[in-house]
Structures are given as structure tokens and as C-alpha cells.
Amino acid sequence: MARLYVLLFLVQIVLAVLALISCLSAEEDEIRALPRIVWVLVILFFPLVGSIAWYFIGRPVRADASQSGGWRVGGGFPEHRRPRPVAPDDDPEFLKSLDANQSKKDRELFEKWEEDLKRREDEMRRRESGDESTP
């Protein structure tokens, strides 16, 4: 019989600890019936009754994901509907900012390459025309 009392005592302590954690981690404006400090005191002074009361009366009601308008941690949002961060190469605004800066740099680089190519072609023509007339 003593083992049963020890087991029930341990269950009561675990239930009280879980209720305290739940109470302390809940958002203040979502707690029902009483302020948070009162719930903490009720759970501490009346562990079994206070814990059960917290879970049935005080704990915030879980809204469906469709009603809450978005995803929150622990909100039960389906994995495939969870908002994901957008990779930079998939973000249109980021790509536009790159295009604006990069296209100007690309044009300047292209113009330099064209000038260099023309200069080299002219040098080759001069060498070819000079080399052919020399022998």
C-alpha cells in the first residue's frame, strides 16, 4: 500500500511540474479565468487540484491553424503549409536588386572586353600587314 502512495505522490508532483511549465510558458493574454500569478500559486499550494484546474480551466485554447491566420511553434500547422524562408535566388526583389547593380557592371566589363578585342585585332592586322610586306 505504501508503494501505491509513493506512486500517486510522484504522479502528483510530475503533474504539478508540467502544469507549472505550461502555465509559465503560456502567453499572458491567452491565459483564461485568472492571472498567471494566481494560477502559479494555486498549482503550488494545491498541486493535484490546481494542476487539473489549470489544464481544464486556465490553459489557453488551441485555435486551429486556419483560424489563427498563421503558423506558430507548436500550433499544429501541417508541414507542407508551413511558411519557408525564400532562398536568395528565388526572391524576385533580391534578383531585381542584383540585376540593377550587376547589369551596369556587366555592361562596363563587356565594353572593356570589346575595346581590348578591337585593340588586339588591330595589333594582329598591323603585324600581319607589316610581316607580309617585309619579306
* Rounded CA separation 19/26 (Å): 11
Range of the domain at 128: 90-133
Of residues 133 and 88, more confidence is placed in: 88
Q: How many domains does the chain have?
A: 2
Q: Mean of the per-residue pLDDT values for the chain?
A: 81
Q: 43-56: buried (b, 16+ CB within 10 Å) or exposed (e) per residue?
A: beeebbebbebbee
Would you place residue 76 in the very low, low, confident or very high pLDDT band (cuts 50, 70, 90)? low
Better-scored residue on pLDDT, 21 or 1? 21
What would the pLDDT profile of 5-57 be if each residue is shown by its tens digit? 999 999 999 999 999 999 999 888 888 888 899 999 999 999 999 999 998 98
With a cut of 80, say whether residue 68 has pLDDT above it.
no
- Tell me, yes or no, whether 26 lies in a domain: yes
Are both 10 and 53 inside the same structural domain? yes
In a shared domain, residues 12 and 54: yes
57 with 104, same domain: the answer is no
Write down the pLDDT at residue 66.
44
Which residue, chain included where needed, has cell 598591323?
Answer: 126
- Specify if 79 maps to a domain: no
Q: Is residue 76 part of a domain?
A: no
Amino acid residing at 114: E
At 46 the pLDDT is 93
The predicted structure's pLDDT at residue 122: 94
Whether residues 6 and 57 fall in one domain: yes
> 106 vs 49, which has greater pLDDT?
49
- The confidence score (pLDDT) of residue 17 equals 95
Q: What is the C-alpha separation between 20 and 43, in angstroms, rounded?
A: 7
Residue 73 lies in a domain: no
What is the value of pTM for the model shown?
Answer: 0.46
Which pLDDT value is given to residue 59? 85
Looking at residue 41, what is its pLDDT? 94
Claim to verify: residue 51 and residue 94 sit in the same structural domain: no
